[in-house]
Structures are given as structure tokens and as C-alpha cells.
Amino acid sequence: MLSFASYKGHSLPVEDPQRAARLLLIEDDPEIAAMVSTMLTERGYQVLRLPDGRELDRMLKREAIDLVILDLMLPGEDGLSICRRLRQAHAMPVLMLTALGGEADRVIGLESGADDYLCKPFAPRELLARVRALLRRARWTTASPNDEQSCFAFDGWVLDMLRMNLFSPDRAQVPLTSAEFGLLSTFCRKPQVVLSRENLLALMHSQPAAVFDRAIDTLIARLRRKIEDDVRDPVRIKTVRNGGYIFTPIVRAAGRDALP
């Protein structure tokens, strides 16, 4: 059972209705779904609900979704499978909910493409903090840069900052999640500088309390699989022992003419 007793009778900050995000909650437990939906709606969000993944594709064709809150244990297709399927075509943040709290379970969730992972039972304030952090990071990573920095180029790769697209040296588009885009754009803004995990989280406008020790490492591994020639011997994102990570390429700001 969720820890929603603390929610009743307490005032939580209401989101600005002019900037209300549209959230999709995929949760099969009707009581949990109702409580979460009510709490988020009262904070100013628009909340759509599904009990499982069967109608997900139709929903995403009809609605513009800013964030998905996804339960891991669902009837039929489970949350991990749904998350992987989402990642094939969509970049919106995914917050995974589960009663499985082991670190290995959380790593598996992140490796499936989730941007954050929240264990049941949880308090309303914690859920709100996670949602706000993910939406804040998504808004930050999609904020329009100036004309001189609408793209970053490195080692033949081009990162489109306006549309969150990444293009390989052979001009193929490489899909990125919002978290992967946030990490890569942070590296492009701070190349050849050793960044600790705490530095990366701060620069990505993430929520430090929402992240456990291996979360940033899992995100690094996901990004390496997309931009490294050999993930066993990475040359672009190097690990600095007891220091963090360093993005080694020379990065230059580029205009729209750099895109394929």
C-alpha cells in the first residue's frame, strides 16, 4: 500500500497550470492508480490512465505525452517489455514504479530504458519530486539554444539540440532517450573536463535524491553503446578512477547546415 496517509490534509505546491504536463499512468491496481492520478491532477498535471500496455500504441498516436509513469508488474506484457518498446520510437521520460527494491532490479529497469525508478511504498512528495525532476530535465534539454549552438559536432557525430536528434558519421539517425540526450548534451557543453557523478547530475538538472550509486553508470553504459566503436574499450567517454567521467572529443558548436 502506498504511503498516501501523509498526503491528506497537507498542502503540496500546485504546478503552474499554464505549464501543466500531460502524464500517462500505466498501473493495473485501480486503487493505486486512482490515488496517484488524483494527487497529480490536484497538483495541476493532466493524467491519462491505462491498466496495461494493450492500448498504449493507440494512446500515443492520439495524445502528446510528456512523461510515462509505468508499473513494472502488469498483466500480460510487463513493464520492462513496455519500456523497451517505448524506447524504440519515443524519447519522453519514463518513471518506473515497482515493489522490487533490490539494486539489481533497479539496474535492470534503467537498462531497459527507464529514466528513473521509484520503489513502492512511496510518499506523495517523493513521487512529485521525481516527476518534477524528469520534466524539468526534459524541458531543459529541449530548450531552444542560440543559433550558434543549435548543434554540436564531434568526431563526425552531430547532436541536434533543437530536436533531440543524434546523427552518426555515416549520417544515420541514432535514437536517444531524454536522459541519454541530457547526458550527451552535458558532455558536449563540458568536453575534456573530468565530471563527477554529482557534477553530471547537477548539470543535467536531475534530482540527486532520485538517483542511487549505479544509476549514472548505467546511463553512461547506455550512451556508450550508441556512440562508442567498442564499448569494451571506450575512447569518447572515459572513466576517471575516483573522479568520474571525461568526454574526450573536441566539440564544436555548429549551425543547422551541419545536419544531414
pLDDT, one tens digit per residue, over 101-111 is 666 666 777 77
CATH architecture type of domain 147-258: Orthogonal Bundle (1.10)
pTM over 0.75, yes/no: no
Contacts of 43 (CB under 8 A, 6+ apart): 12, 13, 14, 15, 128
Long-range CB contacts for residues 11-19, cutoff 8 Å, separation at least 24: 12/39, 12/42, 12/43, 12/124, 12/125, 12/128, 13/43, 14/42, 14/43, 14/44, 15/43, 15/44, 15/45, 16/44, 17/44
What is the predicted pLDDT for the residue at 113?
Answer: 82
What is the predicted pLDDT for the residue at 137?
Answer: 72
What is the predicted pLDDT for the residue at 125?
Answer: 86
What is the predicted pLDDT for the residue at 144?
Answer: 46
Superfamily of domain 17-142: Response regulator (3.40.50.2300)
Among 191, 242, 202, 245, which residue's Cα sits nearest to residue 221? 245
Where the chain has pLDDT below 70, the residues are: 1-19, 101-106, 139-149, 205-214
What is the predicted pLDDT for the residue at 243?
Answer: 84
77: left (phi over 0), alpha (psi -120 to 50) or beta: beta
What is the predicted pLDDT for the residue at 8?
Answer: 46
Question: Which cell numbers hold the place of 69?
Answer: 509513469
Task: In whole angstroms, give the CA distance from residue 95 to residue 40.
Answer: 14
What is the predicted pLDDT for the residue at 7?
Answer: 46
Per-domain residue ranges for the chain? 17-142, 147-258
